[in-house]
Amino acid sequence: MHEYSIVQSLLESCEEHAKQNDAQEVTKVVVKIGVLSGVEPDLLQTAFDTFKEKTVCNNAQFIINHQKVVIDCLDCDTTSTLEKNDFCCPKCQSVKIKVIDGEDMYLMSLELD
Q: Average the pLDDT over 23-44 and give the result.
A: 96
Contact present, 31 and 6 (Cβ < 8 Å)? no
Residue 43: how many CA atoms within 13 Å on its side-chain side? 9
> What b-and-e string marks burial along 30-66, b requiring 16 or more CB atoms within 10 Å of the CB?
ebbbbbebebebeebeebbeeebeeebbeebebebee
**71, amino acid identity:** I
Residue 34: how many CA atoms within 13 Å on its side-chain side? 17
Contact present, 51 and 9 (Cβ < 8 Å)? no
Q: Average the pLDDT over 33-50 and give the result.
A: 95
pLDDT over threshold 70, residue 10: yes
pLDDT over threshold 80, residue 1: no
pLDDT confidence of residue 85? 79
Percent of the chain residues past pLDDT 70, beyond the cut: 99
CATH of the domain at 71: 3.30.2320.80
Domain count, the chain: 1
**Mean pLDDT over all residues of the chain?**
95
**58 Cα distance to chain centroid:** 20
Q: For the beta carbon of residue 96, count every other beta carbon within 10 angstroms.
A: 12
Query: Residue 96: which domain range?
Result: 3-112
Q: Average the pLDDT over 18-37 and give the result.
A: 97
Cα separation, 107 vs 18, in Å, equals 14
